[in-house]
Amino acid sequence: MYAKPSPSLESTPRGREAQELLRSCVHCGFCLPACPTYRVEGNELDSPRGRIYLVKQLVEGGPVGESTLLHLDRCLTCRACESACPSGVQYGRIVDLGRELAGERIARPLRDRVLRVAMTEALGRRPLFEFMLRIGRWARPLLPAALQAKVSVAGQDGRERRTSSSHARRVILLEGCVQPGLAPQINAAAARVLDRLGIAAVTAPHESCCGALGHHLGRTERALMQARGNVQAYTALLDDGAECVVSTASACGLMVKDYGRLLADDPVFADAARRVSEATRDLSQVIAPADLARAGLAPGSGPRVAWQSPCTLQHGQRINGSVEALLVAAGFRLTAVTGATLCCGSAGTYSLLQPELSRELRRRKLQSLTADGPELIATANIGCLTHLAETSPVAVRHWIELVDEALRR
């Protein structure tokens, strides 16, 4: 797809990037059936190909309006289209650029602007989010049913049960912003499993939100500021001998893996950001099935589990089969899941901004996950976990919790 940038973009880094990204699309349409929103809406403008045309209009300075924002906002950024595309179109980068340009040219309603800033700040600041969560849990019986479903019941504080270890091998365990409040037991389980393998899990004292929230809500500068702070925090620990940065939330891991590209033009942080990106791993890349096999777990002895691979894991990080192998090695029996490549509808703040589409996508996802009669659903991202758990007929857990429990039985 050829695009001639408008005079304001021509000869700028963004204009050159846009030309390069758009040129790879050949209009083939393989992305359409892979797109969750297109499957629901049946509107080409709610497909990757349609949205690419909208971004082309933005790049060229063509007529745009509220409908442009509508169709770009409906995109989940699940990147299933990238997995389906035979031409290697980097759609995620295209739609992020489109949202950035749209934010500069199209005025959002005041309510929308305020809501986006509020979500970025409230969800992206861990102490503030945990304070609000405590208030929400206290007032839960008084809240409308829709809000009650969003406020999880407090469970055991997993941070109090973390294993303290002093192994020679150390990794930086990424905390995230909402996971410590919603499900602190996830990283506690990860720390125990890593300790069993002879690896100490340490945390970065000055870590903040990874920046994914602001990045996908069009608050690019806010996201880059958070990325720079995290690069500093992680670099200090990498310099001190930590092997890598490990994430138990696939969305956060994907964002940190992208720091090198996002800060490539930053003269101060470019090299350090690239180092941090290259040193970042999903937890499933650190633990091997052989590690679990040595624990003597009996194959096929555990519950039947439906595996829900988050889009940020399978389409973003392109990690497929790793968690499934670990669950099997831990003794669990995996059930058949149709439509495994389709999004559950969580997508960060999407479930708050696009509730109707989000609920329909969740309904379809749960239908496919539960069709083969699982006793549990396992996933690898806190957003997917909390979103599915709101209406799931079976418990939804993080896969490392299940592995940890199997090892401790």
**Same domain for 280 and 244?**
yes
| Residue that finishes a domain, picked among 79, 105, 131 | 105
In a domain, 144, yes or no: no
CA 397 distance to own-chain centroid: 16
Total structural domains in the chain? 3
pLDDT band at 125, cuts 50/70/90?
A: confident
In a domain, 152, yes or no: no
Q: Which tops the pLDDT comparison, 309 or 111?
A: 309
Mind listing the pLDDT tens digit for each residue in 89-105? Answer: 999 999 999 988 998 88
Answer whether 126's CB lies under 8 Å from 180's CB: yes
Give the C-alpha separation, 71 to 310, whole Å.
22
pLDDT of residue 134: 81
**Same domain for 320 and 362?**
yes
In a domain, 3, yes or no: no
pLDDT of residue 348: 87
pLDDT of residue 148: 66
**Same domain for 279 and 346?**
no
**Same domain for 238 and 278?**
yes
| Residue that finishes a domain, picked among 262, 285, 308 | 285
Q: Is the pLDDT of residue 224 over 90?
A: yes
**Same domain for 219 and 303?**
no
In a domain, 142, yes or no: no
pLDDT of residue 160: 47
pLDDT of residue 196: 92
Residue 134, amino acid: R
Q: Which tops the pLDDT comparison, 326 or 182?
A: 326
In a domain, 240, yes or no: yes
Burial class (CB in 10 A: 0-12, 13-18, 19+), 141: exposed
Q: Is the pLDDT of residue 156 over 60?
A: no
Give the C-alpha separation, 366 to 387, whole Å.
11
In a domain, 138, yes or no: no
**Same domain for 276 and 303?**
no
**Same domain for 281 and 302?**
no
Q: Which of 6-15, 252-261, 374-383 has the lowest mean pLDDT?
A: 6-15
**Same domain for 175 and 264?**
yes
Mind listing the pLDDT tens digit for each residue in 19-65? Answer: 999 999 999 999 999 999 999 999 999 999 999 999 999 999 988 88
β-pairing, 304-307 with 376-379?
Answer: parallel
Answer whether 122's CB lies under 8 Å from 217's CB: no
Which residue's entry shows tokens 């790793």?
322
**Same domain for 379 and 279?**
no
Q: Quote the longest CA-to-CA distance of the chain.
A: 66
pLDDT of residue 138: 81
In a domain, 301, yes or no: yes
The upper half-sphere exposure of residue 130, i.e. CA atoms within 13 Å in the direction of its Cβ, equals: 11
pLDDT band at 165, cuts 50/70/90?
A: low
Give the C-alpha separation, 140 to 184, whole Å.
20
**Same domain for 179 and 249?**
yes
What mean pLDDT do residues 77-85 have? 95
What mean pLDDT do residues 69-88 have? 94
What mean pLDDT do residues 241-253 have? 97
Average pLDDT, the chain: 90
pLDDT of residue 133: 81
**Same domain for 251 and 299?**
no
pLDDT band at 11, cuts 50/70/90?
A: confident
Give the C-alpha separation, 56 to 62, whole Å.
8
Residue 281: which domain range? 158-285
Give the C-alpha separation, 252 to 48, whole Å.
23
Distances, alpha carbon 81 to alpha carbons 264, 327, 341, in Å: 25, 27, 10
Mind listing the pLDDT tens digit for each residue in 318-361? Answer: 999 999 999 999 999 999 999 999 999 999 889 889 999 999 99
3-class secondary structure, 378: strand
pTM above 0.85, yes or no: yes
In a domain, 256, yes or no: yes
Mind listing the pLDDT tens digit for each residue in 266-307? Answer: 999 999 999 999 999 999 999 999 998 887 777 777 899 999
Give the C-alpha separation, 210 to 188, whole Å.
20
Q: Which tops the pLDDT comparison, 196 or 296?
A: 196
CATH of the domain at 36: 1.10.1060.10
**Same domain for 253 and 356?**
no
Which residue's entry shows tokens 């479903």?
149
Answer whether 316's CB lies under 8 Å from 349's CB: no
pLDDT of residue 141: 77
3-class secondary structure, 11: coil
Q: Is the pLDDT of residue 393 over 60?
A: yes
Distances, alpha carbon 257 to alpha carbons 292, 323, 365, in Å: 26, 19, 27
pLDDT of residue 345: 95
CATH of the domain at 379: 3.40.50
| Residue that finishes a domain, picked among 72, 105, 138 | 105
- Give the chain's radius of gyration (CA, Å): 21
Residues in a beta bridge with 397: 378
Distances, alpha carbon 313 to alpha carbons 10, 47, 55, 80, 385, in Å: 35, 21, 25, 11, 14
Question: Which pairs from 22-30 meet CB under 8 Å and 24+ separation?
Answer: 22/52, 22/55, 22/56, 22/59, 22/94, 24/87, 24/88, 24/89, 24/90, 25/1, 25/49, 25/52, 25/87, 25/89, 26/1, 26/87, 27/1, 28/86, 28/87, 30/84, 30/85, 30/86
